[in-house]
Amino acid sequence: MKKSLIWVISVIITLGAAVYQRLTGPTYPETYKIGIGDQVQKISLPTSHGGETDKRISIEEPEPAMEGFIVFRRFPTNEAWDTIFMQYEEDYLTGYLPHQPPAGKLEYQLILKADTTFITVNEQPVIIRFRGNVPGYVLIPHILFIFAAMLFSTVTGIFAICNYSRYRVYAWVTLFLLITGGLILGPVIQKFAFGDFWTGFPFGKDLTDNKILIAFIFWLAAIIANLKKERRWIIIVAALIYFIINIIPHSLFGSELDYTSGKVVTGIIMHNMPIKF
């Protein structure tokens, strides 16, 4: 296989994995379509918010007589539900979810009223997580380094399959990019967003941190194994593991504020609370 073709294939694989990870993650907005009269309205409900402000929820006004309500409560709690009455701001029906501390979550439903008809946009409450503001000068380099690590990992794996000797050099590049983007800039972002540098093993169960840790261990082991003797299969395994890691939805099991203790915890928290209004 020509090297230029390997790069093209690797770019396609990397972009595909990145898009899939983003679209399937819990921070991607939930989108709904509802019918009001002869109109079909597309509504996007956010699941993540950064900064110190309340979160704006708005829809384009489909008709002048429409009213809107946001029913919400802190998550995970069994508190009584509260209601926000939406107001018109220019051409948008708008309401604001109250700001929460970093890693705090709310669950909410959007209900619309047209004349005497009530329409529940989302039957299942959407969960939104709040975080601190992450500066662009940290976030942008992090994204670029992680994307580059994904790309070079794929190229290195295919080079090893095709027995191109340069795979050993690219393995070092992959490790450097992974360390810089994941083990250096990643914790800085975590600190800005949720107050802790590292919430993966052994301090927590944050999936994003643990994914980076696993990828680092495999790539470090692959490089060490190839220092004195070529062992292409270990490089291929490291590249495959990192690919699998990169298609796991981003932020799946992340930081969550326990409103009872006031502490930020990580990992899966089981909730068996019935939703009652």
Contacts of 166 (CB under 8 A, 6+ apart): 159
Compute φ and ψ for 145, nearest 5 degrees: -65, -40
Give the model confidence (pLDDT) of 218-242 as tens digits: 999 999 999 989 999 999 999 999 9
Q: Cβ(69)–Cβ(83) under 8 Å?
A: yes
Reply yes or no on whether the pLDDT at 274 is more than 70.
no
For residue 105, what pLDDT is reported?
Answer: 94
Side-by-side strand order, sheet with 87-89:
55-60, 92-97, 87-89
Reply yes or no on whether the pLDDT at 174 is more than 70.
yes
Give the model confidence (pLDDT) of 183-204 as tens digits: 999 999 999 988 888 888 888 7
Range 169-172 contact pairs with CB under 8 angstroms and sequence separation of 24 or more: 171/219, 171/222, 171/223, 171/226, 171/235, 171/238, 172/223
Adjacent-strand bridge partners of 276: none
For residue 189, what pLDDT is reported?
Answer: 92
For residue 261, what pLDDT is reported?
Answer: 85
Reply yes or no on whether the pLDDT at 249 is more than 80.
no
For residue 208, what pLDDT is reported?
Answer: 84
- In three-state secondary structure terms, 23 is helix
Domain range list for the chain: 30-131, 134-246
Reported confidence tier of residue 62, pLDDT bands at 50, 70, 90: low
**Which residue, chain included where needed, has tokens 């609370």?**
273
> Which one of 3.40.190.10, 3.30.565.10, 3.90.700.10, 2.60.40.10 gives the CATH number of domain 30-131?
2.60.40.10
- Between CA 153 and CA 178 the distance in angstroms is 9
Give the model confidence (pLDDT) of 73-120 as tens digits: 999 899 999 999 999 888 888 999 999 999 999 999 999 887 777 889
Measured distance between the N- and C-terminal CA atoms of the chain, rounded to whole angstroms? 61
For residue 223, what pLDDT is reported?
Answer: 96
**Which residue, chain included where needed, has tokens 């590249």?**
239
For residue 275, what pLDDT is reported?
Answer: 39
